Amino acid sequence: MSNGYHIVVCAGIVPDPLQTLEPVTGPQGPALRNEMMLPAVLDPWAAHALYEAAHLARNAPGSKVWLVSLSPKAKLQQVMMTIAQKVPFELVALDGPASGFTDAGETAVALARAIQAIPGLDRSRLLVFGGWESASRGAGATLQMVGEILGITDQFQGVDALEIQSDGSFRILERIEGGVHQVSACAGPPAVLGWATGTLPEPPNQPQIGMQNMRAIMPALQGAQPAGLAGGKIEFLEVRIPSVRRETQVIKDLSPEEIAKEIVEWIKE
């Protein structure tokens, strides 16, 4: 495609996976203890989507990448100091909660509105990327709803590879059961792709790209509008760390068949 693609990557931020997370019930509902103090990273699945978007844009002249994020802007600024050095993009920031306790439907509406408001966005060239799953909003539904609100019916989830064919169509590898891929074909944009791990490594830090990105990122953060998530659609009865259950038996001289039978019986209970 001579004019390239307009690629919008939906990506939130999440606490660093190495941190211990403790759910608590606060005045506004469920939250994480000391959430604003926890170091944050770009959602790992969404990060893969961003790297794949940048790779596609680099190989399709005329393409452009936007990163749309609904996150607390103070924490988002910290994350952008690192992510901005990875690949070129333009940030569209929404100020709002990034926890997994927000409603996926409300989040999708806010993201879709932000995408529709991007100046100069060409829907005929639009590709919406994001994570197939999420380390916070793990419902696996937000990206699909964004596509539906935008009127995009060609959607692919669990994507590991996107190949551009000579006629401008796409060949897409989607994960399915049994550790194999389903090969899908798409005539072209607009389309929604929820990425799994992709095929690309994390790009190295490039200070020059970081300086170019930050010139636009800082004004975008300062002008971030409140997402306006009303909440209240979901009622959480309890939030807690899953309990650990351990029942150990030391029995000698059991055959593998007998061991398997006992395990099956234990699971059934």
User: What percentage of the chain exceeds 70 in pLDDT?
Assistant: 85
Maximum C-alpha span of the chain: 72
Confidence bin at 232 (pLDDT 50/70/90): low
Closest listed residue to residue 69, CA positions, set 29, 33, 36, 111: 111
| Mean pLDDT across 109-127 | 91
pLDDT value, residue 112: 92
Looking at every residue in the chain, the average pLDDT score rounds to 83
User: How far apart are alpha carbons 165 and 170 in whole angstroms?
Assistant: 6
pLDDT value, residue 139: 57
CATH 3.40.50.620 matches 6-226: yes
pLDDT value, residue 72: 85
- When mean pLDDT is compared across 37-41, 112-116, 188-192, the lowest value belongs to 37-41
| DSSP 8-class letter at 224 | P
Chain segment 55-65, per-residue pLDDT in tens:
999 988 999 99
| Mean pLDDT across 208-235 | 80
Confidence bin at 108 (pLDDT 50/70/90): confident
pLDDT value, residue 1: 45
Chain segment 151-175, per-residue pLDDT in tens:
999 999 888 999 999 888 999 988 8
Q: Residue ranges of the domains in the chain?
A: 6-226
User: What backbone phi and psi angles, to 5 degrees, belong to 115?
Assistant: -65, -45
β-pairing verdict for 90-95 and 225-226: parallel
